[in-house]
Amino acid sequence: MRNTLIFGAAIGLAVGAYFGLLKNDLPAQTTTVSALELTEIGTRGEEAFNGTCAACHGVNLVGTNNGPPLLHQFYVPGHHGDMSIVLAVKQGSRQHHWRFGDMPAQEHITDAELTSIIAYVREVQRANGFN
């Protein structure tokens, strides 16, 4: 019985620490982002991103108090590929890495805007070492 209690307490502490680290992993909103020259599609994507996505994900992808930064290892192509972004925008996304709540679907974003937003996100990520 004692071993079960110790094991349960250890698991509880580990889970709490894990979620505490995720919550505290959000960079400050003043994070400096490397300047880059965007492609034509990236420029269109920046405009579309700033018109909708930046309210939560921040100008230059740095995150806000309402949503996570996209300049983070969680969102590199090998972890969250382009299709993950498509699905999150079209269907919404359940909270899973951060404590910001679920992301609602963004049904007003057109396929063309979404393609350019993804190009913008990937260009900024690459320029800042998130490959």
Give the pLDDT confidence of 90-109 residue by residue, as tens digits: 999 999 888 999 999 999 99
Q: Give the CATH number for residue 61.
A: 1.10.760.10
Distance CA 97, CA 76 (A): 14
Q: pLDDT: is 21 or 73 the higher one?
A: 73
Give the pLDDT confidence of 69-94 residue by residue, as tens digits: 999 999 999 899 999 999 999 999 99
How confident is the model at residue 115, as a pLDDT? 98
Q: Is residue 45 over pLDDT 80?
A: yes
Domain range spanning residue 74?
2-127
Q: Residues of the chain with pLDDT > 70: what percent?
A: 75
Q: Is residue 66 over pLDDT 60?
A: yes
Q: What DSSP string describes 50-96?
A: HHHTHHHH-GGG--BTTB--SSSGGGSTTTS-HHHHHHHHHH-B---
- Report the pLDDT averaged over residues 42-56: 97
- Report the pLDDT averaged over residues 21-45: 70
Please state the domain count of the chain.
1
